[in-house]
Chain A
Amino acid sequence: MAFFEMAKTAIRSFVGKPATRRYPFVPGKVTPLSRGHVTIDVASCISCGMCMKKCPSEAICVNKDEKTWTIDRLRCIVCNSCVEVCPVHCLTMDTVYSPAVTTHSGLEVFHITYVKPEKPPKADSVDENKEQA
């Protein structure tokens, strides 16, 4: 048994630099994998609703008729589930956390601007087939 076992560590901590960052003067530590918040590319979303089906906290609502993608930031648990299931990869995970809010204003509505590309007319494809034959 001994006394003052902690003294060495305590003196080193006292003299040395602080162990924590001086947040908010210094930005918080972020890694490439950090899960901050979900972002959407409205130009490529096809409104398939997979993200809505797979969301464990029911935070996402996709309205096909009104062409909107709504997320409740206060319900979202940032699990990355929607990003993984998105077939067109229009959802991405941003590494920066959403700022804190003072009112219940977590609902964010995005208007989907994706336009389905028109299929080439059938007659052309028939002609092509004929040419190939």
Chain B
Amino acid sequence: MSRQIVMPFGPQHPVLPEPIHLDLVLEDETGVDGMLSIGYLHGGLETLVEKRQFPEYVYIAERTCGICSFIHGMTYCQGIERVMGLEVPERAHYLRTIWSEYSRLHSHLLWLGLFADSMGFENLFMNAWKHREFVLDVMEETTGGRVIQGSCKVGGVRRDIDQETLKKMERDLKGFEKGLKEMANVFLNDDSVASRLRGVGVLSRNDAYVCGAVGPTGRGSGVPIDARMTGYAAYGELDFSPVVEQDGDCYARCAVRVNELFSSIEIIRQSIDRIPGGEIEVKVKGNPDGEYFSRSEQPRGELVHYVKGNGTKYLARSRIRTPTLTNIPPLVKMLQGCELADVPVIVLSIDPCIGCMER
């Protein structure tokens, strides 16, 4: 048996886009174990909750992450609405669903680009980000912000989308989908991509379940876990099913995200077709008194916002659990038995967002 060595990897590393430190235990060039340490980015967002009034905290909750910012704001609002017993109008639910799915498209396209970059496929990287630009433009046209939308508020949404814009969005999706199909073909059928990803970082279904993998990491291993199935916002009224792959390798996780792009487009289409008219917000009276765990499906997996009110304008406690934290034990499992050269691809395959995890 050869000697084991510990190799430090990160937090500043050219192929790792996130500040996470990884102590890789290697035997020759094969990974035996990985020890991850976090804590390079603490921003103290959860303490701010005691100093800002609960309606204003939406802006701060939204700034937890720069990619799925809308979903963070929405999950926080859902928590407060449940504590206060507010009935959000149906139209606001549909608008939230539409913006959530655009966020998912944005996040997956960004990840696919970074993933292509991590395996040295620069052409594909640029192509994925070109498509992402379309999503950002729609976001700006409908909410006013490309990355931080700021369109969610406690009791509903801030902005409405008129019927004409909705129809235009539906029409534009056709051309966008055509471009995506061409790009998806490269990710799913090109031999150079498949040879880099197939059989790399395998996570078995049992391991995924035991380690608590969520989102595309879990679904890539055959665990059909998707918080959207709980039916929050308007998801309960739409027809869709979680995208699941069985192989559990990097290719399967990539395939889940590629297929979810089309699933998201379908959800947006259904939402635009079924969106009812009416109010977009309800008036908020009083202060939250009570606690609630609000769950939603981020592009990376299940997101939990815990809110606790004490009857004043300032919340007593807010706690966020992001999917990256949940996906770290499965990542350690994937690193066992991998090749050193595959480590960047494997780490990236869980779509880590450390900024989001440590706030």
CB distance from A7 to the nearest CB of B (A): 9
- Given A9, A10, A35, A54, which contacts B145 in the complex, CB threshold below 8 Å? A35
Whole-angstrom CA separation of A59 from B188 in the bound complex: 48
Whole-angstrom CA separation of A29 from B133 in the bound complex: 12
Does A98 interact with chain B (Cβ within 8 Å)? no
Contact B150 A5 (CB under 8 A): no
CB distance from B20 to the nearest CB of A (A): 27
Whole-angstrom CA separation of A119 from B140 in the bound complex: 45
Contact B124 A6 (CB under 8 A): yes
Given the contacts A1-B189, A6-B124, A31-B140, A77 and B56 also touching, CB distance less than 8 Å: no
- Given B137, B143, B144, B182, which contacts A9 in the complex, CB threshold below 8 Å? B182
CB distance from B88 to the nearest CB of A (A): 18
Does A88 interact with chain B (Cβ within 8 Å)? no
Given the contacts A19-B130, A56-B56, A81-B56, A33 and B144 also touching, CB distance less than 8 Å: yes
Residues of A within 8 A of B56 (CB): 54-56, 81
Contact B144 A3 (CB under 8 A): no
- Given A1, A9, A34, A80, which contacts B194 in the complex, CB threshold below 8 Å? A1
Residues of A within 8 A of B192 (CB): 3
Does B38 interact with chain A (Cβ within 8 Å)? no
CB distance from A83 to the nearest CB of B (A): 11
Given the contacts A2-B190, A2-B191, A56-B52, A35 and B60 also touching, CB distance less than 8 Å: no
Residues of A within 8 A of B2 (CB): none
Residues of B within 8 A of A4 (CB): 190
Contact B123 A10 (CB under 8 A): yes
Does B141 interact with chain A (Cβ within 8 Å)? yes
Given the contacts A9-B186, A56-B56, A1 and B141 also touching, CB distance less than 8 Å: no
Residues of B within 8 A of A8 (CB): 182
Does A113 interact with chain B (Cβ within 8 Å)? no
CB closest residue in chain B, given A29? B137
Contact with A along B120-134 (1 / 0, CB 8 A): 010110110010010
Whole-angstrom CA separation of A77 from B61 in the bound complex: 13
- Given B57, B158, B190, which contacts A5 in the complex, CB threshold below 8 Å? B190
Q: For the side of the interface on A, what is the size category? A: 20 to 34
Does A79 interact with chain B (Cβ within 8 Å)? yes
- Given A5, A9, A19, A79, which contacts B59 in the complex, CB threshold below 8 Å? A79
Does A13 interact with chain B (Cβ within 8 Å)? yes
Whole-angstrom CA separation of A81 from B55 in the bound complex: 10
Contact with A along B170-202 (1 / 0, CB 8 A): 000000000000110110011110100000000
CB closest residue in chain B, given A57? B59
Given the contacts A9-B183, A77-B59, A33 and B190 also touching, CB distance less than 8 Å: no
Residues of A within 8 A of B150 (CB): 35, 79-80
CB distance from B145 to the nearest CB of A (A): 6
Whole-angstrom CA separation of A31 from B52 in the bound complex: 30
CB distance from A13 to the nearest CB of B (A): 7
Contact A80 B127 (CB under 8 A): no
Residues of B within 8 A of A10 (CB): 123
Contact with A along B152-172 (1 / 0, CB 8 A): 000000110000000000000
Whole-angstrom CA separation of A29 from B141 in the bound complex: 10
CB distance from B185 to the nearest CB of A (A): 6
Does B142 interact with chain A (Cβ within 8 Å)? yes
Given the contacts A3-B190, A5-B186, A9-B127, A34 and B59 also touching, CB distance less than 8 Å: no
Given contacts A33-B140, A77-B148, A81-B56, 4 further A-B contacts (CB under 8 A): A1-B191, A3-B192, A56-B60, A80-B144
Enumerate 14 A-B pairs (CB-CB under 8 Å) in ascending A order: A1-B191, A3-B190, A6-B127, A8-B182, A9-B127, A9-B182, A9-B186, A29-B140, A34-B140, A34-B144, A77-B63, A79-B59, A79-B150, A81-B56
Give 4 closest A-B pairs by Cβ, nearest first. A33-B144, A5-B190, A56-B56, A56-B59
